[in-house]
A and B are shown apart, each in its own frame.
Chain A
Amino acid sequence: MARPARAGGSPGGNVQDLVEMGEFYFLNQKYAEAAKVLQKALSLDPRCVKAYYTLGVIHESKNEPDRAREMYEKALSIQPDFKPARDHLDRLVGM
């Protein structure tokens, strides 16, 4: 799989590139690296739903349900209709 392009010029572009890089690391099961770039994305844009969501998926993949739940809740607090986070959260709480 090709590694996504590095951060572009604008802050928005940076965030998106970082999220894509996080997804790339996640797909390659490099969870620590993925979390690092996603946290960086959140430091640039604290309302980045996809970064919170992907961090949730990473924590869930590592059997850290409490931290996963926290991330999904943050994603939903920004975008309540974000279905992937809602589905994961419902499953985690046993609904």
Chain B
Amino acid sequence: MKKKQFAVIGLGRFGHSMAETLIQSGCEVIAIDTDEEKIQAISDLATYAVQVDATDEKAVRTIGLQNVDTAVVSIGEDIEASILIVMTLKELGVKEIVAKAVTPIHGKILRNLGVSRVVFPEREVAVRLANSLAQPAIIDYMDLSAGYSVMEIPAPLGTVGSKVRDSRIRERYDVNLIAIRRKIPIITDAGETDFKEDLKINPDPDEEIAVGDILVVLGSRESLASMRPA
């Protein structure tokens, strides 16, 4: 299967992490920035790392940006540059553009320019962090739509030691168990104790819920709020 091709434009903390994760996921990544140091920092990883001004249509056409499946514009602070790059990408005919926004107006302009997805990283991180601070037992929380969310939570009191079918999670909390994250103790090659994480998606009804298990559950926010960890 052909590898999915991405361009990541702007290699600040957000862009660098984005490029690194895409590369680790097996995607081809063209990394672009005007800053030589940022290019150097990703050059060993990226398929192609190039120092260029992405608002320069001629220059970006030369590096084949029009052929990528998705372009991620991760320039937030310089709103003018972000808008110009998105316009250039649209003119090049890039099919999918994801762009980072820093203010609601910036986001609105990007949306009006036809960006497929606008992300507000700071706002999204703040919401998730606030959720985890307000309810420390919750390990992770992701809103879906129409009042539904996915939550990761340590196995609630009374479920540890019982089989999934006997835990009656659905009846008790009106949520669906979609996966169990389990830490498996190991000894590393260096001889130290450690654990590896195992994700059991759609767990078997006979699977026993163990100490330290993290349940990944899907449900309405009200139902999820009713769950209390052990």
Contact = CB atoms under 8 A, between A and B. Distances in A.
Interface in B163-220: 183, 185-188, 190, 192-195, 210-212, 214
Interface residues of A, number: 14
Contacts of B139: 63
Task: Name the residue in A26, A27, A53, A61 with the highest tally of chain B Cβ atoms < 10 Å from its Cβ.
Answer: A61
Contact of B193 (A53, A62, A63): A53
Contacts of B229: 63
A45 interface: no
Contacts of B210: 29
A89 to B, nearest CB: 13
B194 A84 contact: yes
Given A29-B210, A63-B214, A54 B185 contact: no
Q: Report the contact-size class of chain B (Cβ under 8 Å from the partner).
A: 10 to 19
B185 A53 contact: no
A63 B195 CA distance: 12
B167 to A, nearest CB: 17
A70 interface: no
B52 to A, nearest CB: 31
A8 to B, nearest CB: 19
B15 interface: no
B107 interface: no
Interface in A66-95: 84
B76 interface: no
B154 interface: yes
A27 B192 contact: no
Contacts of A27: 185-187, 193
A78 B139 CA distance: 30
B192 to A, nearest CB: 5
Interface in B28-77: none
A79 to B, nearest CB: 13
Contact of B154 (A31, A57, A63): A63
A23 interface: yes
A93 to B, nearest CB: 13
B212 A63 contact: yes
Given A23-B187, A26-B185, A54 B212 contact: no
Contact of A29 (B188, B211, B214): B211
B192 A84 contact: yes
B227 to A, nearest CB: 14
Interface of B: 139, 154, 183, 185-188, 190, 192-195, 210-212, 214, 229
6 contacts: A26-B185, A26-B193, A27-B185, A57-B194, A63-B154, A84-B194
4 smallest beta-carbon distances between A and B, as pairs: A63-B154, A61-B183, A62-B212, A84-B192
Given A53-B192, A57-B195, 10 more contacts: A23-B187, A27-B186, A27-B193, A29-B185, A53-B193, A57-B193, A57-B194, A63-B154, A84-B190, A84-B192
